[in-house]
Structure 1
Amino acid sequence: MIKVEAIKPGPKPNKPDGTPDRRRRVTPDNKSNHPNLKPHRHKPND
């Protein structure tokens, strides 16, 4: 039987120099907590 492991949930770790991972997106509600991250936007009808 094959064991399936899920992807680990949670935030991505910081880069070795201490800055947040730039691939991470932030919702407009949490933008004030993470000013350096790109905003997360949905396309229409998505």
Structure 2
Amino acid sequence: MEKIQAIKPGPKPNKPDGKPDERRRVNPPNQPKHPDLKPHIHKPKD
């Protein structure tokens, strides 16, 4: 019987110099550069 394993997200990749890559999170000082998404408005019958 084969064992089924769930796919788990691995650790974030490291930069070439060995430091962790933190591009996937927004730090509080950079938050103004990343505005929230605008609300999506549906058209009638859409």
TM-based fold match above 0.5: no
Name whichever structure is richer in strand by fraction: 1
Q: Which has the higher contact order (CA 8 A, sep 6+)?
A: 1
Q: Greater share of helix residues, 1 or 2?
A: 2
Q: Which has the larger radius of gyration?
A: 2
